Amino acid sequence: MTTSIGTYRHLAQCSTPSGHFAILAVDHRGNLRQQLEKHAASAGAGQVTERTMTAFKQEVTNYLAPYASAVLTDPDYGFGPGIAEGTIGGKLGLLAPLEITDYGVHPSLRALNMIPGWTVGKIKRAGGSGV
């Protein structure tokens, strides 16, 4: 089986010059929000908003992106804001999930739930390197 030139290019975008993958995974949404809300409640802070989630993901990405060859992030708080704010620069590979993961159930019992309105085509049009 041969690898197409496009596949090779996308893999190269997501790897280091020596061919290693160092991917920063910040694609979590539901379980991350739950953890942030627990921390906010114990600190006496307010509710975790959309703005809070976006700011948190952008701060993490901004800090760790220099050590990564690619970023795996979600369409809600990471993908668009990361590109728009420059935290996901053009030299980083950009990966996106298609599914919603329910960490509340055992992995063998998880149903496949897709992110509404999010497709491979949209990821490609936004500059994504892979799914």
Alpha-carbon torsion, ordered 40, 31, 118, 85, to 10 deg? 40
List, for residues 23-80, the tens digit of each pLDDT value. 999 998 888 888 888 888 776 677 889 999 999 999 999 999 999 999 999 988 998 9
* Residue 27: half-sphere exposure toward Cβ, Cα within 13 Å: 20
Which CATH fold topology does 20-125 show? TIM Barrel (3.20.20)
Say whether pTM exceeds 0.75: yes
- What's the confidence (pLDDT) of residue 46? 74
Count other C-beta atoms under 10 Å from residue 36's C-beta.
16
The span from the CA of 131 to the CA of 95, in Å, is 5
Contact criterion met (CB below 8 Å) for 91 and 68: no
Q: Is the pLDDT of residue 13 over 80?
A: yes
Instruction: Report which of 14, 19, 57 is spatially closest to residue 35, judged by C-alpha positions.
Output: 57
Q: Which residues contact 20 (CB under 8 A, 6 or more apart)?
A: 69
For the chain, the structural domain boundaries read: 20-125
List, for residues 77-123, the tens digit of each pLDDT value. 998 999 999 999 989 999 999 988 777 778 788 788 888 999 999 99
